[in-house]
Amino acid sequence: MVACKVENNTPEGVFWMDLVRYEEGAYPVTKNWFMARPCNHCDNPPCVAVCPSKPKKTRYRRANGLVATDADSCIGCRYCEKACPYGVNYFHTEDPKKNMYLDWDDKDLAKSTNGASPAYKNPVFDTKIGKEKRKIAGSNHRPKVVDKCTFCVHRVEKGEQPACAEGCPTSAITFGNLDELTSDISKILQSKKSYRFLEKAGTKPKVYYVGGRQPGPNSIEVEKIQKKKA
């Protein structure tokens, strides 16, 4: 969560990567589980299906499977936010820069970096990404635009790992190409039992959880996501 916030400079209260805790059992015999929750970059994403933007969908699935939002064409209708069963989208009603923990326009900050960009200013801000040449809603955090985890598209395009995978001290997150049978991620999934969150929703999520169990309907994190959606 921290690596994601530092990399993407997300505003206060916004967690593109969330860590949800859920409990099983009844007191005093209970067990806690932890589940990292980025965007699932679904293969059948309802957020893309409902996006009404024309002529091209603003929420779209890139050729490599990442699900992205075009920051320039989003009309802020929030259909994607409602359609996603995972509660991963964030809509900014006002300029989120105002409450960021790093104020990019702060003169003292600029002085401390000798006029250079503040250390964590994300270069994806005004960059058109990939062959499609679209500005992906990311750390620009514009008002009236929906953003969410981008799988650190600006890093992945350069052959780097997403910040959460690189920053995890126990290497609990493996990121890679599911279409390549010899990639680390494919080997793990071939050899270990895994599940995908809310798989029954038919979204074909591309985040797999190895070990643990699919959370039940009464677990804390399901309640939390349902509250957020309500």
Question: Closer to ligand SF4 at the Cβ: 12 or 199?
Answer: 199
Tell me: does residue 64 bind ligand SF4 (CB under 6 A): no
Which residues are within 8 A (CB) of 168 and not within 5 positions of it... i.e. 6 or more apart?
A: 3
Among 8, 9, 10, 89, binds ligand SF4 (CB under 6 A): 89
| Residue list 133-162, contact with ligand SF4 (CB under 6 A) | 146, 148
Among 4, 68, 71, 84, binds ligand SF4 (CB under 6 A): 84
| Residue list 10-39, contact with ligand SF4 (CB under 6 A) | 39
Rg of the Cα atoms in the chain = 18
Distance CA 163, CA 173 (A): 10
Tell me which residue of 97, 88, 96 sits closest to 67, measured CA to CA: 88
Torsion, Cα of 88, 50, 218, 208 (10° steps): -60
Among 33, 65, 72, 76, binds ligand SF4 (CB under 6 A): 76
Closest separation between CB of residue 182 and ligand SF4, Å?
26
Tell me: does residue 51 bind ligand SF4 (CB under 6 A): yes
Closest separation between CB of residue 50 and ligand SF4, Å?
6
- Kindly report the length of the chain: 230
Tell me: does residue 225 bind ligand SF4 (CB under 6 A): no
Among 1, 6, 36, 77, binds ligand SF4 (CB under 6 A): 77
Label residue 223 left, alpha or beta by phi (over 0 means left) and psi (-120 to 50 means alpha): alpha
Question: Closer to ligand SF4 at the Cβ: 8 or 40?
Answer: 40
Q: What angle do CA 140, 144, 149 make, to 5 degrees?
A: 50
Among 14, 67, 124, 129, binds ligand SF4 (CB under 6 A): 67
The tokens for 119 are 């250390």
Q: List alpha helices for 84-198, DSSP H.
A: 107-112, 153-156, 163-167, 184-191
Distance CA 52, CA 42 (A): 18
Question: Closer to ligand SF4 at the Cβ: 11 or 46?
Answer: 46
| Residue list 162-181, contact with ligand SF4 (CB under 6 A) | none
Judged by the rule CB under 6 A, the positions of this chain that interact with ligand SF4 are 39-42, 45-47, 50-51, 53, 58-59, 67, 69, 74-80, 84, 86, 88-89, 146, 148, 203
